[in-house]
Amino acid sequence: MERSALVVPTVMEPRLEGLSDLGLSLEELPGGTGRKVATAMAGMSEVPGVWVAGNAGDPAAQVGAAAAGGALAGAHLHGMLVMAEADAAVTAARADRAA
């Protein structure tokens, strides 16, 4: 019997060339479809200060969802930076009052 179609499964794998020193953890995707960078809320990785955006954290996401995930990660990072700056300002103000 002649074949009229051939299906080959995709195995998704993040491209992390040049990032091996960061120590990012990878986790298996369901059904043996590949791996992704392990992330928590808004793309935060296990490595302090490293966020993962787009298809590295959600390989099955379509372009719009991958872009939205990147925007969410950026907004979360921005919020954390603003809070760190506010905390530093409060600490400095308290130190000035104590002096």
49 and 74 in contact (C-beta within 8 Å)? Answer: no
13 and 36 in contact (C-beta within 8 Å)? Answer: no
How many percent of the chain have pLDDT more than 70? 100
2-20: pLDDT as tens digits: 889 888 888 899 999 999 8
Scanning the chain, the segments in alpha helix (DSSP H) are 63-98
Residue ranges in the chain modelled with pLDDT below 70 = none
84 and 92 in contact (C-beta within 8 Å)? Answer: no
- Whole-number pLDDT of residue 26: 94
Q: What does pLDDT average to over the chain?
A: 88
